Structure 1
């Protein structure tokens, strides 16, 4: 059954009155108070604490289930000189968690080694075969996982049989059967809405270190820069304690002494004092993720902890080279995917989940990135499958309202392995089962989700004319930062704008992006950056545009950057006419005898009749291609579009 594709719903802000006392208590720009109030922070105290971390009271680490038991066991291991193996993960959250725990424990005398799985060989998790080899090599007395391990039932059982205690720190969803570990620290044991519930792996690791350090009277704040990196890169929901840690972490990142990070700042012309969540998400994070996707992420600990400038420079250059390779692979695979869709459009049109099976050259460390881009383009879940012998290894990305891991697990009879959460998942299956898997996913979708895709929404925070945009306007709402999941950037809208070809230019190495200068109904102009838009057509004008605003500083030069998020044909706007034209509109469509009605306007040779195909008998008319300047234009047939009408009137 073909799936119905929804239209994006624009939600404009309601007219909720913000109490004057609330506005006064919050202070600053009225837009800040209005935004906080509309986003549910209706208490002045909570709003002020949201803006100012000095006014926020974080939860003690003991509020996190399992932390006290885990900390006591680690303290015992340190005192008894036991060997501790830290087992991490290869994404940025896992890299920062591993480094944080390793650094923190070594600083108080722990005997520590670490292992981060190599993606190409092990994939995520605590693989039993690898664990058994590492146990033989290092003979640990205690295993401490971070950002992983919550589903490692067999591996934990093996460690227990080997006389090794296991402490699991993780933030992923709790499986039906938990490992029989010595302690499990996971915020999902808490109720949704708890201040600690949205912590990522590095946040969980930090709370554990807080608990341990309280015993030694040590201050863990030197680790907060790592926490900020993990929170942003893992797209953690930035509410309550997670936001608090990010705020402190960004301050720490701007003052970081870490040689590796300073090399990245230098390499990308970043002023350390100006680093923000955007730089983590689009500069630092991709470099570190490239290491985990394409290489051995164990070197991340050296990158973060080295005090040798030469080694830091070498490692930073390696990250840069890996990321450039990752970008090239991504571009190549994305083009392959689009070519496949062009050749087989039914994969998009007839299936609720887009499943693409590629060649062995589709690198498993990159297909997830491509899947995310395809999700953005087609607004439906996407599964990219690469070939590995007789197996297909897949990476899935989804949209809000479609629990992709649940859809996949409903076909577990076809799968060799699978795992994930509502928005992302991984799986492997025999190549011979891919077609059946695609069909079963469609059946699972219709049974679990329904017959249409969830309607995406774009929530407008404020509707403004272009003339309102200035540096001071943007600075006024910066107290709401850092932005991210759970605290999205403000989205602004301007209705009824126009542009033309001379105000559109392609940018980027391959011309894949565009900058478009729009003019609003008041004559104000604004240039918007539209990512990955070179092959996308503009709707008929006038348009409504939704966009974000930020200040970009490069080499001490500050500029306003407006990024186009979505556009649509204005549903209610009149046809735009140049200001200098004063045109009187006479509507004769309700007249029974239109021929007689228009005769009164034919007394001058400065009148022209526009008609397509249906030529009015007894009158001289021309098609739109032959229109020329006249004082009066009679439109006999309905114009095919707003754009054509605008062009005709402009003549």
Structure 2
């Protein structure tokens, strides 16, 4: 449970109150955040009163502009090298669109997260340069790519860097290095993201031409990269939101339509929770280059194809994220000592590296400390870090560089890799550094309350007044309000997938307020009397504007009963191994809208695997999940009211059965799909965990005629070697995992639900 920090009294000058007007809470918030002068408040609230900083203030900007302008005049080929997160995607799209508009000859490349990783991948660069490139222009990357830049410059290819990541000890030998981190702390351009830096470069290149049509991309990158919203970064976001609301590019408009977002009422939250995650799914689970097509295209067919691809990948990302998050929380529950460190460092075998950053962000919210989530594969750890204010995470990680294979990032987010043997020393050293940065011995999750209000104070006018402080985000958090002594009148799940909870709460005066708990759990709703913390914002639903109250936290009211929870679903027990198909048919007749969870080989069973789960009031569990983490993730994804247990199909948990089935699926892929097979295909047929399947594939590579070549973290191209391999491979860990799965299945079939 978080420690609530009650609002401290603050003095609001009369001239500030006169300037701001409206509800006193708005002026008090500005004062608490150090904005006392009316002129400063005017600049903060209204971008028309802010004077943006010239792009010339960035070091090397003149050299960068001159070199690319010369490349355009002389018809040289410019290669834009980006990155696969949203900041990198939008940076690349912005530069591609702008340079094409100026008549440049442009090629672009976003590295594959799995095969190339962050930064400039030297083998790929060599291939691209061989194809004819005169200038390399980076965005959101490059500031630490010494080897690659030396190679390009050595071949007579100039490199112009636009990046915002932390500076190395020495700058690379690029023609120009435009990076706001080269500016002193407190400079109005220092907190620019990669796309903001690229935008400032384009401003310099365009001269007197307008660049505001590119600001929709800038807004996307600022929010998705969780940049500190101060000075020019806040200004660009405010202006970019205006473009998104009034004239978004066709690809973003199509994404909004698919996500049921009305452009006119779009907010930074729509970017952070809906649009950004869809683009991120592309870079995390597949190849991010198609994002540039989506963000620069005008052809409706191309846009529709890309949006459909995003939706499918986003659904997969959601489940993988939920599964890793549940595993991480279970690890913390099993080993509470992890929370005694100043930074939470956790790892898991087979966790998908494409979602560990998302999980780290969620754990930062839960525990209010820097978090590193690492995926383990064959003794190597790689993953992502997210931080809190006051702890520059890339600097903290850098203090442990002697234990790492590589790292990079900026003050709030970073990536890293290390050998598993170094984990303990890394955790201890990192924690010591973070503790020194934060200046406190223990890390206690805290929630700062901005104001205590009554439910009858909340209406649309109040929400509109608070929204003047928006856009909210890093450096300008939304207001946290609280109401004391409330209780639940009613509760229900909501949303197309049932991920969210819709509540009616009543205060002591009898005022009833609707509260939405995004990704909430019916099981965790307090019973009895409690205090609630929440945010309030104006929202449009089905054409009607309303004040939307969003749940943040709850604590027991003073002298009230302890928070308690009850079961969220009823159980109907039909557990029977090898139950006949007729049993399923009867259950489906009795519960025609039920979702059937099934993973196995039988074509007679029509069910849904883990990657395609949807919300359903009734869940028929025909297949036993391979472990507790997947079982919990499954229930949280479906959010059922009724769970019917059958367990007729168990995961393949005998070594020979598993490898034979995977080999059979691989041979089918060779004959029918040019050898392409995904982890999703195999999991849906074997019912096993992904990391167990991964070890079985390693064994097949070593001991069979099949060769699985990974083309992403969870997809392979399979070929035959022509002869059976006989390479050494220790299958002990694989067999242990299968034993665990078999034991869990036996437990699941016998567990009491009374």
Give the structure-1-normalised TM-score.
0.80
Report the number of matched residues.
561
Deviations 1:116-143 (A, max 9, x none): 1110111111122322222122x32211
Shift, 1:575, TM fit: 6.0
Partner of 1:105: 99
Answer yes or no: is the 8 Å Cα contact 2:515–2:550 preserved in 1: yes
Change (3 A) 1:484 1:403: closer
Shift, 1:323, TM fit: 0.5
1:507-522 equivalent positions in 2, closer than 5 A: 513-522=500-509
Partner of 2:624: none
Among candidates 201, 204, 208, match of residue 201 of structure 2 = 208
Q: Where in structure 1 are there 5+ consecutive unaligned residues?
A: 1-5, 577-651
**Aligned-partner Cα distance in 2 for 1:15–1:449:** 25
Change (3 A) 1:72 1:473: same
Shift, 1:165, TM fit: 1.3
Partner of 1:627: none
1:268-307 equivalent positions in 2, closer than 5 A: 268-307=259-298
Shift, 1:515, TM fit: 4.0
Change (3 A) 1:400 1:128: same
Q: Does 1:311 align with 2:302?
A: yes
Shift, 1:59, TM fit: 1.3
Answer yes or no: is the 8 Å Cα contact 2:487–2:527 preserved in 1: no
Among candidates 366, 369, 376, match of residue 377 of structure 1 = 366
Partner of 1:227: 218
Greater mean alpha carbon deviation, residues 403-412 or residues 76-85: 403-412
Measured on the aligned residues, the alpha-carbon RMSD in Å equals: 2.6
Among candidates 67, 78, 82, match of residue 73 of structure 1 = 67
Greater mean alpha carbon deviation, residues 450-459 or residues 97-106: 450-459
1:271-420 equivalent positions in 2, closer than 5 A: 271-342=262-333, 344-346=334-336, 348-349=338-339, 351-360=341-350, 362-420=351-409
Larger RCO, structures 1/2 (Cα 8 Å, 6+ apart): 1
**Aligned-partner Cα distance in 2 for 1:327–1:540:** 29
Deviations 1:216-270 (A, max 9, x none): x422111111111111111111122112111111111123352222211221222
Shift, 1:526, TM fit: 2.3
Shift, 1:376, TM fit: 2.5
Partner of 2:462: 473
Shift, 1:289, TM fit: 0.6
Deviations 1:323-353 (A, max 9, x none): 01111111222223333344x3245355444
Answer yes or no: is the 8 Å Cα contact 1:405–1:423 preserved in 2: yes
Change (3 A) 1:456 1:49: same
**Aligned-partner Cα distance in 2 for 1:555–1:505:** 19
Change (3 A) 1:363 1:542: same
Among candidates 115, 122, 131, match of residue 121 of structure 1 = 115
Answer yes or no: is the 8 Å Cα contact 2:501–2:522 preserved in 1: no
Q: Does 1:50 align with 2:44?
A: yes
Partner of 2:487: 499
Among candidates 220, 223, 234, match of residue 243 of structure 1 = 234
Answer yes or no: is the 8 Å Cα contact 1:347–1:354 preserved in 2: no
Larger Rg: 1
Change (3 A) 1:46 1:399: closer
Change (3 A) 1:276 1:517: same
Change (3 A) 1:448 1:471: closer
Give the structure-2-normalised TM-score.
0.70
Change (3 A) 1:498 1:260: same
Partner of 1:588: none
Answer yes or no: is the 8 Å Cα contact 2:86–2:224 preserved in 1: yes
Among candidates 412, 421, 427, match of residue 416 of structure 2 = 427
Among candidates 180, 189, 196, match of residue 187 of structure 1 = 180
Partner of 2:57: 63
Change (3 A) 1:498 1:257: closer
